Amino acid sequence: MKKIWNGLKGVKRVRVRIIVETFHRLIINLFDILFGFLNWPEKKLKIKIFILQDSQGNAVVSPKDLNVAIEYVKKSFKKNFNTSILPYHKQPFVEVLQKTPPNEVLHTKGGTGAFPEEFKITGSFFASNLCGSFYPVTIFIVLDIKGAAGCSLGPVTDYVTVDPNGAENASTLAHEIAHACGLWHHQEKSNLMWRTFKRGDEIKWWQKNIFRSSRHVTYW
């Protein structure tokens, strides 16, 4: 019964977020979907990073391990999208989540295996621990992601996952947040959306339109 309930809640979450995302892109953020390449005016994106604890109650990474990645996000998004990265509700960017997560959450999946997890206990756990609905992006640092160092389901959720290797890599956090804002993988290694750690920090003009019109990227 619990599996069915998790599945129903997952379906509802996905449907609502698709509706909200479409509404923002086509109505509220219509200017940016058309003229986002102008990178004007400045926009804002609020994030919160929760580090999970393993079965022994130890944080999977130290908060200081994320300093480089956070600075990279700030500089990259300001330069590329004229978007300032802010902590949610003026809280610290990083916090250790004081809950014991299920094993499925600590060892989650990436790639095509991630979407079915949204309709299971994994998706329910992440949804119940978001820092806010629709607008902030919540980042969960998990112990392991099968087949990836980070994962995002794009606009259908309000969170991304990153493992310790991804957390300690400068560009992975920025890459996954950009996925959450609607960007997909790019075939050029110089692009922020290249798949591996060897990615660059460049973007195309049309990527600005997509990013800046996301519901996560606001004027307030």
Assigned domain for 217 exists: no
Contacts 24+ apart (CB under 8 A), 165-169: 167/61, 167/65, 167/66, 167/69, 167/141, 168/61, 168/65, 168/68, 168/69, 169/69, 169/197
Residue 220, domain member (yes or no):
no
The answer, yes or no, to whether the previous bond of 164 is cis (omega within 30 of 0) is no
- Residue 219 within a domain: no
SS3 assignment, position 49: strand
Q: Tell me, what's the pLDDT at 2?
A: 87
Q: How many domains, the chain?
A: 1
pLDDT per residue over 101-159, tens digit each? 999 999 999 999 999 999 999 999 999 999 999 999 999 999 999 999 999 999 999 99
DSSP state of 112: G
Position 177 in a domain: yes
Domain of residue 16: give its range: 2-212
Q: What is the CATH number of the domain that holds 53?
A: 3.40.390.10
Q: Within a domain: residue 133?
A: yes
Specify if 34 maps to a domain. Answer: yes
- Give the model's pLDDT for residue 99: 92
pLDDT in tens, 49-80: 999 999 999 999 999 999 999 999 999 999 99
Asked, for residue 14, whether it belongs to a domain, the answer is: yes
* Residue 218 in domain: no
